[in-house]
Amino acid sequence: MSNDLAGVWEVALSDGVHRIEFEHGTTTGKRVIYVDGKEILRRDWMFKLVGKETFSVGKSETKATINIDAVSGFAYEYTLEINGKSLKKYMENRSKVTSTWVLNLDGTDCRVVLEKDTMDVWCNGQNIETAGEFVDDGTETHFSLGDHNCCVKAVSSGKRRDGIIHTLLVDGTEIAECTE
């Protein structure tokens, strides 16, 4: 990488946290985008220094756009949008549609993500096979991580505002949810 690094963002998706880096050569017009250290887009000798670059991130090929705007003179502002929303708005919305837990199993760090709309479960970037069942107080989604029995319990909070509460149990022990 050169010294034209203009922006770095961390984006948490279901398949993991991705690092996006953007180089902008304001004298050469060069634009380079790296996702997780891998160059995915390069444009040399761009005469228009402002504009946008669109690319995809992660296994689900989530749409990302870097906007390049002139602020004053030769100063530029770089903003990242994910699925058409500012990164901040996207992450706020994401916390409503996913639950994330980080835990250590047998010496390995695991990042478990539940997509609440589809009830898909991801662990360290892999979509996990699950079995769902209805129980007296809600639903249970069962899956295995190594030799560990895991279950996401979905139970009504009893309050309309709070909605459904999702809890991860690993071998019967509740794991605290983390905020990303």
Q: What is the pLDDT of residues 89-134, one digit of tens each?
A: 999 999 889 999 999 999 999 999 999 999 999 999 899 999 999 9
Q: What three-state secondary structure class fits 156? A: strand
Q: Are strands 120-123 and 108-115 parallel, antiparallel or unpaired?
A: antiparallel
User: Which alpha helices (DSSP H) does the chain contain, by range?
Assistant: 87-97
Q: Rounded CA gap, 104 and 84, in Å?
A: 34
Number of domain units in the chain: 2
What's the predicted TM-score (pTM) here? 0.82
What is the model's pLDDT at position 37? 97
Q: What three-state secondary structure class fits 113? A: strand
Out of 88, 108, 130, pick the residue that ends a domain: 88
Per-residue DSSP letter, 117: T
What is the model's pLDDT at position 180? 67
Q: Write down the residue that tokens 């034209």 correspond to.
A: 4
What is the model's pLDDT at position 29? 85
Q: Are strands 98-105 and 85-86 parallel, antiparallel or unpaired?
A: unpaired
Q: What is the pLDDT of residues 145-162, one digit of tens each?
A: 999 999 999 998 888 777
What is the model's pLDDT at position 119? 93
Q: Rounded CA gap, 147 and 114, in Å?
A: 20
Residue 150 in domain: yes
Q: What three-state secondary structure class fits 87? A: helix
Q: What is the pLDDT of residues 48-101, one digit of tens each?
A: 888 999 999 999 899 999 999 999 877 899 999 999 999 999 999 998 899 999
What is the model's pLDDT at position 1? 52
Q: Measuring CA to CA, how many Å separate 33 from each of 16, 130, 157?
A: 18, 35, 43
Q: 118 and 56, same structural domain?
A: no
Can you give the residue range of the structural domain that contains 46? 5-88
Q: Are strands 31-35 and 16-24 parallel, antiparallel or unpaired?
A: antiparallel
Q: 171 and 99, same structural domain?
A: yes
Q: Write down the residue that tokens 């994910």 correspond to.
A: 82
What is the model's pLDDT at position 49? 83
Phi, psi of 137 (to 5 degrees): -105, 15
Regarding predicted confidence, which is higher, 120 or 163?
Answer: 120
Q: Write down the residue that tokens 């050469």 correspond to.
A: 28
Q: Which two tokens stand for residue 14?
A: 């279901």
Q: 52 and 12, same structural domain?
A: yes
Q: Which CATH number is 60's domain given?
A: 2.40.128.180
